[in-house]
């Protein structure tokens, strides 16, 4: 990975990339966390809690330091269990969001009105922060702590530049996150640049294009 030259035969290039178990696992795990980050990130941006997402991604460093101090391997079993853990945790978080999604959206758009209608906004606030924390912890296993925020915020923010409809916005956010992760992994394999460079650059380019499109349409 890194420095492999592209050829004119794209199919053969993709086959070469996916012939390596490490890259195949990276794409599998990346797909899971991209979907998870896109959906949770969309709610995070709607609720204007991006700062909370950034804070949760940063506090992973003290946790890693504590693990080292206690003699626990930071990456213990990482390659063997990363995909399984991602699937289990992502399915659990997505199920929870499916249960609280409608009232959470209502409380995110108009908290006062939702409260007057009997929606338990305080409990939803706590529940969402817990889900956000779980998502940050899981996504960081694939992207690294510093890149969690980019994957959480940028696809979601980009989708909201394009549409205000919840269903369409979530779908666009997921599509952008998947495209960002897949292109970032591909760029890393066929270049000497790390995945962080590609992930942040691609996500930012998508946002700039969407913001420019919105301005032109308006």
Q: Tell me the per-residue pLDDT of 4-42, one tens digit each, with 9 for 90 and over.
A: 777 788 888 888 888 888 888 888 888 888 888 888 888
pLDDT at 201: 93
Q: Average the pLDDT over each of 50-59, 95-104, 152-161 and give the range with the smallest value.
A: 50-59
pLDDT at 57 over 60: no
Q: Tell me the per-residue pLDDT of 110-136, one tens digit each, with 9 for 90 and over.
A: 788 888 888 888 888 778 777 777 777
Residue position matching structure tokens 């504590």: 66
pLDDT at 82: 47
User: What is the CA angle 130-133-136, rounded to 5?
Assistant: 150
Alpha helix stretches (DSSP H) within 70-146: 78-109, 111-116, 121-143
pTM of the model: 0.72
């Amino acid at each position: 990975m890194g420095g492999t030259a592209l050829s004119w035969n794209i199919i053969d290039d993709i086959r070469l990339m996916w012939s390596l178990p490490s890259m195949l696992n990276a794409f599998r795990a990346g797909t899971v966390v991209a979907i998870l980050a896109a959906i949770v990130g969309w709610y995070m941006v709607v609720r204007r809690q991006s700062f909370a997402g950034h804070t949760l991604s940063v506090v992973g460093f003290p946790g890693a330091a504590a693990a080292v101090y206690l003699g626990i391997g930071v990456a213990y079993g990482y390659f063997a269990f990363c995909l399984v853990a991602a699937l289990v945790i992502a399915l659990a978080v997505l199920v929870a969001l499916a249960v609280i999604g409608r009232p959470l959206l209502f409380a995110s758009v108009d908290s006062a009105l939702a409260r007057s209608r009997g929606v338990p906004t305080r409990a939803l606030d706590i529940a969402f922060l817990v889900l956000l924390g779980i998502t940050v912890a899981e996504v960081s296993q694939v992207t690294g702590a510093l890149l969690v925020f980019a994957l959480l915020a940028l696809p979601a923010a980009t989708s909201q530049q394009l549409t205000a409809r919840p269903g369409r916005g979530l779908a666009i956010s997921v599509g952008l996150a998947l495209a960002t992760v897949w292109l970032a992994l591909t760029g890393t394999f066929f270049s000497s640049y790390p995945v962080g460079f590609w992930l942040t650059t691609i996500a930012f380019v998508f946002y700039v294009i969407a913001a420019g499109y919105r301005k032109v349409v308006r």
